[in-house]
Structure 1
Amino acid sequence: MAPSVSPTIAARRDQMFPVLTDADIERMRRFGDARAYAAGEHIVTAGTISPGLIVILSGKVDITQASGLGPREAIITHGPGNFIGELAQLSNRPSLVNAEATGSVEAIVIPSQRLRDLIVQEANLGERIMRALILRRVGLLESGISGPIVIGPPGNGDVLRLQGFLTRSGLPHRALDSDTDPCAKTLIERFHVDPHHLPIVLCPDGKLLHNPGENDLARCVGLLRPVDTSKVYDVAIVGAGPAGLAAAVYAGSEGLSTIVLDCRAFGGQAGASSRIENYLGFPTGITGMALMARAYNQAQKFGVEMVIPDEAKLLGAAGDMSGYRLDVGDGETVRARTVVIASGARYRRLDIANLAQFEGTSVHYWASPIEARLCRNQEVALVGAGNSAGQAAVYLASQVRKVTLLARRDSLDTTMSRYLVERIEAQPNIEVLTETEIEALDGHEGSLDQVRWRNRASGVATTRPIRHLFLFIGADPNTDWLANCEVALDAKGFVRTGPDVAPGHGLMETSRSGVFAIGDVRCGSTKRVAAAVGEGAQVVAALHAYLAQNGSRAGHAELARRS
């Protein structure tokens, strides 16, 4: 890999770039077609869709990263027995690297759909390929060269928004300081960009975007593609958090045609966790983003179609009696025989009049390395008393001078796991203030200067020069989009399911036949990652039963297979 790759990735080079045996290649032939490339031919170009996974039979191919700002940086030269590709090829999305034949090359090209067939049907070989694809993406993420370039002033709310979206989407990228970076200044001059119009984003295909929305950026880099409006899916899943991704993995692995929609990025609130230590099977813990990225890639391995970010706006019956339709962004419609509502929750906001003024620049709902860099060696305040707040406080304590954790209750023990309470107590730079609430925020031009809080028991107010405030105060159900969809909600906006709707209803069945709800959005659910994953797995059995009863060919086939 390039010199900028971490020693950990360099140590796994053999797994990233395995050499296939003749027997391996023979097993792969039936999934692809033979191709020949001339010396100097561009086999893959960054920013365009690759023909697929390319297995080299003879010749050599140079793999390079295109920085967009200068000479290409060499990654590796592949020879016979190597293959070209990373996670982009699994989902038929634009390549992040260039591949050029250094001489005459003979190869087998396996398109994305057949690549998924290969990984599933040839389990041992597929495991090695999948591991290599994932590690190569990790290498690209850590190199900080491939992918789109975000250019703007550091700390700018829109720069942070775009960086956050790309990070949560698992897409390599980099951000350049428009005030100090000479490459950034060169690009600004080249494209005649007025400083007031920053940030800009340079996409891998050379297209320049001026302060784009997440949807526009996703389309430019190939994350978001038009929906096939002629297709009727077995199931449409709204929400790509732990519950939605679990449902997608199980549905896809059992042969149901599945599409997943999310208006932000995969991972949901779990993706914001700096470390999850009580999830079964991970005794040393795992970051929420790493756990959710594994689930996201696993779903794609089974052919699940991801439409992110695209927002479900309305749920209605399909006019041709095929099931349901979901109206999404840009006037597109998704049609499906069944629908799983896994839209989770949205972050709760403080009731402070000028809060919006500081959101995105000084008030944060996510504690990632991006935010940590902004407030390194500073004092920060964090509001919340649940596990997410505890995980964020511990993470930030390793990056900042001091964390002041504010909680409304008189103790953390009733709402936070004991291991987190003990870890917080052990951190010398975390101060816990119970029975305390934020009272006022002061600042200028979107930047926070100081925070005032008050102890409810003593009435004493304290003002501190704090420039960054983190809020982890719970969440409300994300069900506004269901207001006119005839799906029964409880008084707090959670989706009602099971006997709460009608006698004899299945646990996750809503008031509409063929529509199910799982995870945090469901009334009465346990708000834990493991519980959400369990419901995602459980709902697939209900989908099969419904599809079988309502004449779905896929449902009948699966029912027959199981019997």
Structure 2
Amino acid sequence: MSRATIVTVDDDPMVSAAIARDLRSRYGGDYRIVRASSGAEAVEVMRRLLLRDEPIALVCADQRMPGMSGIELLAHVREQVPDAKLLLLTAYADTDVAITAINEIGLDHYLLKPWDPPEERLYPVVDDLLGDWRRAHPEHTSDVRVVGHRWSERSHDLKTFLARNHVPYRWFDVERDEEAARLLGLADATTADLPLVLVPDGETLRAPTILELAAALGLRTTAERELYDVCIVGGGPAGLAAAVYAASEGLSTVVVEQSAPGGQAGQSASIENYLGFPRGLSGADLAGRALAQARRFGAELVLARDVVALEARGPVRAVRFDGGDIEARAVIVATGVSYRTLEAEGLPELIGRGVYYGANASEASQCQDDEVYVVGAANSAGQAALNLARFAARVHLVVRGAGIEETMSEYLVERILASETIEVHLRSEVVAAAGDGHLERLTLADRDTGERVEVEASWLFIFIGASPRTDWLGDEIVRDDKGFIVTGNDLKVMEAADPSRAGAAVPAGAAGGAAVRAPFALETSLPGVFAAGDVRLDSMKRVASAVGEGAMSVYFVHRYLATI
């Protein structure tokens, strides 16, 4: 791919020279910097670039220019180069106009002039914009290539792992792409070897496990140290927030994640109510930013490890997984929740073959012009429906209740009801699924009349409820009847309400048999083990609250470590 271009537009020669100078100083090695002195000149510059098929990464335009304002120019850019990042330079008096442009033309960011010093006011903004652009426009010469069948559960799992870990890859379907057959021949492979993964400068992988794929990509799958101050189990918003605060405060920190950073939130196409992002951001973007921040402070991430047990070894807590363990003086459990299983005839046999729990934002394009069904009525289901509707012929939102207003944020409800390609089926449920090798038909039932109707469907995405996976914690960690971890004062409340739990729900004590103390707010029934985010009993089940609990848990880790 040709070196991408950054276009700057300003009619003031001194300002134009200054912005080009600052951008060239930091980005000139990777991007070509092109100046234009008016909107009309910029339009012509971009026309020539597009004719040569040269990518435009960023357009930075001043708002107050004669003939064509910055917003007018950037609106034109959005039409001609929809994937370019748009940055508006403006004065304080024009901030209302800039905010309006965020909604109307998809402005990515506005920056008040002057931007001195650029290290503090310009470069962090541009770093984020170009980082997002690069992730969406990887160099194909270094892409991982995956050959498989689109109705293969293993293929789906591998693609999900790659996408959620921000590993660029190209997908070749053996039934649709001629290149797939060529690659199979080059690798001397058969359909029994699918999915086939071709890693640049590495061995060809035949039907690899997630752990094998992670190792081949150079992703860390083992810990560096023998003992850490804190081990965080789970890399969702709560876990990543805990990692940022723990590592930034000098604690040796490791995060163990089974799949990829971000948790359920990492699969969201758009999180629009997260503080500080007026245009919203994708779950993958949020996870990528948080992970980069945690790594900057020195936190480690160990991937593709499924934790199976937690052990107390004197003053040390050990997190065990297949093939090893990690020891730490404190543990934060931030494993989040998974979607509950939908009970429907024929459904289990089609998991990964058209039936999926949750949905990655990147999967929407595979549903081009198809009939897609989404089960659920919470925000995650609404966000998925809107994202899938960009590609599908029609999206059917199947809801058990009488409405979605009580379970979904208002901004999502308004968009779903206004969409011409989303149909909401209230008081309905999926009761059966069928297909030859992959999903082909669904049976829907009316919950009031019992009437059933069979519909054609190739895709079903399920977003129902929250189920924590906490069985690996053992009997020392008190959970409620649904598996959510009980912490802090709730331990005493539970014991008071149910005396039969008195043997397990003892208040956390100091290590080594010291005097018993009350558990800290996010501490479990085992001293030194804390819970944060959705896995904790009575948590809010929101990204922002999970981040807050992750940060707060580190405060209590410090207090605990001071007692041992």
Q: Does the alignment reach a TM-score above 0.5?
A: yes
Question: Could you tell me how far 1:392 is from its partner in structure 2?
Answer: 0.9
Q: Does the C-alpha gap of structure 1 residues 436 and 178 become closer, same or farther in structure 2, counting only changes over 3 Å? A: closer
Letter aligned with residue 463 of structure 1: E
In structure 1, the residue matched to 2:476 is 486
1:236 to 213, 227, 231: 231
Contact 2:398–2:425 at 8 Å: present in 1 too?
Answer: yes
Q: Does 1:187 align with 2:183?
A: yes
Give the CA RMSD over aligned residues. Answer: 2.9
Letter aligned with residue 383 of structure 2: Q
Q: Does 1:528 align with 2:524?
A: no
1:460 to 448, 451, 469: 451
Q: Does 1:327 align with 2:320?
A: yes
CA distance in 2 between counterparts of 1:285 and 1:485 reads 41
Summarize the alignment of residues 23-62 of structure 1 with structure 2, pairs less than 5 Å apart.
Answer: none
Contact 1:352–1:440 at 8 Å: present in 2 too?
Answer: yes
Q: Does the C-alpha gap of structure 1 residues 16 and 190 become closer, same or farther in structure 2, counting only changes over 3 Å? A: farther
Q: Does 1:165 align with 2:161?
A: yes
In structure 1, the residue matched to 2:195 is 199
Q: Does the C-alpha gap of structure 1 residues 444 and 182 become closer, same or farther in structure 2, counting only changes over 3 Å? A: closer
CA distance in 2 between counterparts of 1:535 and 1:276 reads 19
TM-score between both structures, scaled by the size of structure 1: 0.73
2:389 to 368, 392, 397: 397
Question: Could you tell me how far 1:171 is from its partner in structure 2?
Answer: 1.1
Contact 1:279–1:530 at 8 Å: present in 2 too?
Answer: yes
Summarize the alignment of residues 483-562 of structure 1 with structure 2, pairs less than 5 Å apart.
Answer: 484=474, 486-502=476-492, 504-550=518-564
CA distance in 2 between counterparts of 1:216 and 1:11 reads 45
Letter aligned with residue 443 of structure 1: G
2:217 to 216, 221, 238: 221
CA distance in 2 between counterparts of 1:537 and 1:15 reads 39
Summarize the alignment of residues 298-313 of structure 1 with structure 2, pairs less than 5 Å apart.
Answer: 298-313=293-308
CA distance in 1 between counterparts of 2:21 and 2:385 reads 35
* Cα deviation code 1:437-486 (max 9, x no counterpart): 111111111x111111111112222211111111111220121211x251
In structure 2, the residue matched to 1:92 is none
Letter aligned with residue 161 of structure 2: F
Letter aligned with residue 539 of structure 2: S
Contact 2:345–2:431 at 8 Å: present in 1 too?
Answer: no
Q: Does the C-alpha gap of structure 1 residues 137 and 275 become closer, same or farther in structure 2, counting only changes over 3 Å? A: closer
CA distance in 2 between counterparts of 1:187 and 1:4 reads 28
Q: Does the C-alpha gap of structure 1 residues 358 and 17 become closer, same or farther in structure 2, counting only changes over 3 Å? A: farther
In structure 1, the residue matched to 2:261 is 266
CA distance in 2 between counterparts of 1:350 and 1:205 reads 42
Contact 2:257–2:304 at 8 Å: present in 1 too?
Answer: yes
Q: Does 1:208 align with 2:214?
A: no
Contact 1:155–1:374 at 8 Å: present in 2 too?
Answer: no
Q: Does the C-alpha gap of structure 1 residues 140 and 526 become closer, same or farther in structure 2, counting only changes over 3 Å? A: closer
Q: Does the C-alpha gap of structure 1 residues 11 and 190 become closer, same or farther in structure 2, counting only changes over 3 Å? A: farther
CA distance in 2 between counterparts of 1:341 and 1:427 reads 39
Summarize the alignment of residues 407-422 of structure 1 with structure 2, pairs less than 5 Å apart.
Answer: 407-422=399-414
* Cα deviation code 1:346-388 (max 9, x no counterpart): 2211112421221112012233354322221111111100011
* Cα deviation code 1:240-291 (max 9, x no counterpart): 0010000001111111110001111110011111111111111211111111
Contact 2:519–2:527 at 8 Å: present in 1 too?
Answer: no
1:443 to 408, 413, 435: 435
Question: What residue ranges of structure 2 are gaps of 5+ in the alignment?
Answer: 10-18, 28-53, 56-117, 493-506, 508-517
Letter aligned with residue 417 of structure 1: S
* Cα deviation code 1:86-141 (max 9, x no counterpart): xxxxxxxxxxxxxxxxxxxxxxxxxxxxxxxxxxxxx9489959975994685265
Q: Does the C-alpha gap of structure 1 residues 17 and 176 become closer, same or farther in structure 2, counting only changes over 3 Å? A: farther
In structure 2, the residue matched to 1:96 is none
Q: Does the C-alpha gap of structure 1 residues 207 and 140 become closer, same or farther in structure 2, counting only changes over 3 Å? A: farther
In structure 1, the residue matched to 2:348 is 356
1:252 to 247, 256, 270: 247
CA distance in 1 between counterparts of 2:135 and 2:453 reads 45
Contact 2:223–2:326 at 8 Å: present in 1 too?
Answer: yes
Question: Could you tell me how far 1:188 is from its partner in structure 2?
Answer: 1.7
CA distance in 1 between counterparts of 2:23 and 2:138 reads 16
Contact 1:519–1:525 at 8 Å: present in 2 too?
Answer: yes
In structure 1, the residue matched to 2:416 is 424
Letter aligned with residue 411 of structure 1: G
CA distance in 2 between counterparts of 1:129 and 1:280 reads 18
Max radius of gyration: which structure?
A: 2
CA distance in 1 between counterparts of 2:160 and 2:21 reads 29
Q: Does the C-alpha gap of structure 1 residues 336 and 130 become closer, same or farther in structure 2, counting only changes over 3 Å? A: farther
Question: Could you tell me how far 1:200 is from its partner in structure 2?
Answer: 0.7
Contact 1:498–1:506 at 8 Å: present in 2 too?
Answer: yes
Summarize the alignment of residues 112-123 of structure 1 with structure 2, pairs less than 5 Å apart.
Answer: none
2:181 aligned counterpart, secondary structure: helix
Q: How many residues align?
A: 443
Question: Could you tell me how far 1:3 is from its partner in structure 2?
Answer: 4.2
1:293 aligned counterpart, secondary structure: helix
1:313 aligned counterpart, secondary structure: strand
Contact 1:148–1:221 at 8 Å: present in 2 too?
Answer: no
1:476 aligned counterpart, secondary structure: coil
Q: Does the C-alpha gap of structure 1 residues 317 and 271 become closer, same or farther in structure 2, counting only changes over 3 Å? A: same
CA distance in 2 between counterparts of 1:216 and 1:17 reads 41
Q: Does the C-alpha gap of structure 1 residues 524 and 394 become closer, same or farther in structure 2, counting only changes over 3 Å? A: same
Contact 1:495–1:523 at 8 Å: present in 2 too?
Answer: yes
Contact 2:268–2:361 at 8 Å: present in 1 too?
Answer: no
Letter aligned with residue 153 of structure 1: H
* Cα deviation code 1:492-530 (max 9, x no counterpart): 110010112246322201001100001000011111111
In structure 2, the residue matched to 1:118 is none
CA distance in 2 between counterparts of 1:130 and 1:217 reads 34
Q: Does the C-alpha gap of structure 1 residues 519 and 16 become closer, same or farther in structure 2, counting only changes over 3 Å? A: farther
In structure 1, the residue matched to 2:40 is none
In structure 1, the residue matched to 2:280 is 285
Segment of structure 1 superposing worse, 268-277 or 187-196? 187-196
2:338 aligned counterpart, secondary structure: strand
Q: Does the C-alpha gap of structure 1 residues 378 and 15 become closer, same or farther in structure 2, counting only changes over 3 Å? A: farther
Letter aligned with residue 171 of structure 1: V
Contact 1:16–1:131 at 8 Å: present in 2 too?
Answer: no
Letter aligned with residue 462 of structure 1: V
1:156 to 130, 152, 157: 152
CA distance in 2 between counterparts of 1:437 and 1:487 reads 36
Question: Could you tell me how far 1:15 is from its partner in structure 2?
Answer: 11
Contact 1:18–1:132 at 8 Å: present in 2 too?
Answer: no
Contact 1:160–1:370 at 8 Å: present in 2 too?
Answer: no
